[in-house]
A and B are shown apart, each in its own frame.
Chain A
């Protein structure tokens, strides 16, 4: 594959890959590094590209693996980036409402972060990145039934935690 073909076929995915990496890592600098490394890896394996069914899924898969490697190598903790939820926009809210909202957002973030990795990734790909079930299956190299099962379990666990929030009157 030529440089120009690579740039026209692969580089348009950069925004999507960056969002994906950013949501996994919660850090702009790390997300940028991971996307760069993903592009380098894709370029070094460009001979495989004609055999692939979905270039986008392949790029997403590489980005995901690199992001997970980075999470492991830096010994990130799921709760390390809870503070990020507190930085959400506070327009049209009083300080009290903003504090309440931030607290709720942090708890939702924590509920998702506490999910097992395979559940969390499926939930993120579907509900935040807006991928179809087939795209998720291609990205994670799993079957459609497994995607649906993992997503169902992820939503169920999050729902239970949200119900607990309501029970304790946090909302």
Chain B
């Protein structure tokens, strides 16, 4: 680039009228120029060489090596209770099933008790059964006698009323 062009660019630079491309051109010129410069161009040389050297920033170190990055932490999403209705429906179903199973188990146990033997000696069991049946028969007969009496009384009442 001609010195006159550099002078023009420098004038714009000091007046803050230069574009980013023109400023880059100045940095490139001063960084790459070897040897003596005209006196009026030397003034800005250290500044642009400094800007050029400052572009050498150390490599970016790895971030968050000493602690977890906040955006990597699991985010807990709180949903309204009605959005989890299936969970609660499942819990109710399981509870109902358990109650039903417990109830069925109790009934089954009761049924098994009804068929359980109460006597280990068959002869004794037979005698007890016989005695129980005799007692039942005796009471049935007594009831039958009383019913016959009621029957006579009923017949007599109907005769008096002249129904027959």
Chain A interface (Cβ < 8 Å from any Cβ of B): 3, 6-7, 14-15, 18-19, 22-23, 28, 32, 35-36, 39-40, 43-44, 85, 88-89, 101, 104-105, 107-109, 112, 126-128, 130, 132, 148, 151-152, 155-156, 158-159, 162-163, 165-166, 171
What's the dominant secondary structure at chain B's contact region?
helix
For B23, list chain A residues within 8 Å (CB). Answer: 126-127
Task: Report 27 cross-chain contacts, Cβ distance below 8 Å, ordered by A residue.
Answer: A3-B71, A6-B71, A14-B60, A18-B57, A22-B57, A22-B58, A23-B54, A23-B57, A40-B70, A43-B70, A43-B71, A89-B56, A101-B49, A104-B46, A108-B46, A128-B54, A128-B55, A130-B20, A130-B24, A132-B20, A148-B16, A152-B15, A152-B16, A159-B43, A162-B47, A163-B43, A165-B46
Q: What is the 8 Å Cβ interface bit string for chain B, positions 56-82, against chain A (1 contact, 0 not)?
A: 111011011000011110010000000
Interface residue ranges, B against A (CB under 8 Å): 13-16, 20, 23-24, 42-47, 49-51, 53-58, 60-61, 63-64, 69-72, 75
The majority secondary structure among interface residues of chain A is helix
Cβ A107 vs Cβ B46 within 8 A: yes
Residues of B within 8 A of A32 (CB): 61, 63
Contact indicator B58/A128 (Cβ below 8 Å): no
